[in-house]
Chain A
């Protein structure tokens, strides 16, 4: 019996994103659409999310404009598509501190946020580096870090150190240090609630952008190609490969159960509909008794 429903909600997108930034080494191979999404996990009396997107004002908007992001909609508008409000969300797992994942915490006034302590500690270290090394800071909005101070003051920011088992019943956090960022993490949902679950979903954050990173040619079964890392690693590509293998093994080699939120081809993999704002709602799985919200 499935305990949680999972939806991937698109809140904006980049129409043409260099493919080489998504799949390592694919230089001069054109562009792909890059959806920007967050994930909702609902069940067991909880509404949880993986990441919160960015706020399309001030400096979040500068970053988004620089990357060519368009069609942004607020969490209130996006969550309404599945009958939720930001105030309903009680737990948020931040996969990493880049602006498009950690940039809108103020929209969720009642949530407790979970982030790897290493993610904060290493950004602190990186910000102390000389200006000539500023490359390592890309994707970070100082304003987001400041808002984290407020969350911590309100006891709504939990800095976790490594893996966390049952952060919510049947939901585990897994650290992936020195990969996409210094303290990235991925989320495992054991949807039957069992320790030896046969119904695992992995929410990959930015450790996987697209199917190629999983060695998945589109069949969604066991990897039928080699893992190719994403194009951006503040840590190392080797660590990314290792983290991907951990995720694939966690889902019993069924790559369709590893969810890459920046993958437009999720539309062909899970039931979905397009909102009146032109944004996709993908329904990954449904808890017992939960009616479909996309059919």
Chain B
């Protein structure tokens, strides 16, 4: 089955698996949004030379969301076959924390090195999360589940029938 499956949670009967899917999606979506949010801040910092982004409320919001995500990760109880997910998400979160730390160091007129450092950490986090993608349980780098015209393959019946923990590489 392709890894690139529509973004919908599987309806596997095991309640523990369902709980895991919901909890993992929450953490995954938060990390995905943080990567996008911080990347956007880096664009603005560079496009408007000298912009001081460290003091923007967006940075404080990102930090708060990062803490929420860490709490969600700590509560994650993966079922058999998904034990590596939490470690992978934690690694991504660690890179995002480092990116946040770098962004708070961005100062007008000497932003180059810190932006490069933050960008490198965000790329590493993104790569880490790409490796964890499993669209059967809603772990994807894009979310089109509410798109206005998600009429293509969204309702491919296979997403409902593939159990959590099974191979996603076949």
Contacts and interface: CB of A to CB of B under 8 A. Distances in A.
A29 interface: no
Bin chain B's interface residue count: 35 or more
Given A67-B152, A149-B43, A231-B148, A159 B48 contact: yes
B76 interface: no
B39 A149 contact: yes
A224 B149 CA distance: 28
A159 B43 contact: yes
B86 interface: no
B20 interface: no
B91 interface: no
B151 A17 contact: yes
Contacts of B122: 146, 149
B151 A121 contact: no
A62 B46 contact: no
Given A66-B6, A142-B35, A149-B119, A59 B151 contact: no
A59 B142 contact: yes
A153 B30 CA distance: 26
Contact of A65 (B32, B115, B119, B153): B153
A124 B41 contact: yes
A127 interface: yes
B67 to A, nearest CB: 14
Contacts of A21: 148-149
Interface string A110-131: 0000000100110111011001
A138 to B, nearest CB: 5
Contact of A153 (B32, B119, B140, B148): B119
A120 B43 contact: yes
Contacts of B42: 149, 152
Contacts of B26: 131
A109 interface: no
B61 A59 contact: no
B115 to A, nearest CB: 7
A68 B58 CA distance: 35
Given A120-B40, A137-B33, A152-B42, 19 more contacts: A62-B4, A62-B135, A63-B142, A66-B150, A124-B40, A124-B44, A125-B58, A127-B33, A139-B147, A141-B142, A142-B32, A146-B35, A146-B39, A146-B123, A149-B39, A153-B115, A153-B116, A159-B47, A159-B48
Interface of A: 14, 16-18, 21, 58-59, 61-63, 65-69, 99, 117, 120-121, 123-125, 127-128, 131, 134-135, 137-143, 145-146, 148-150, 152-153, 157-159, 231-232
16 contacts: A61-B4, A67-B152, A68-B152, A117-B48, A120-B40, A131-B33, A134-B143, A138-B143, A142-B33, A142-B39, A146-B35, A152-B43, A157-B46, A157-B47, A159-B47, A231-B148
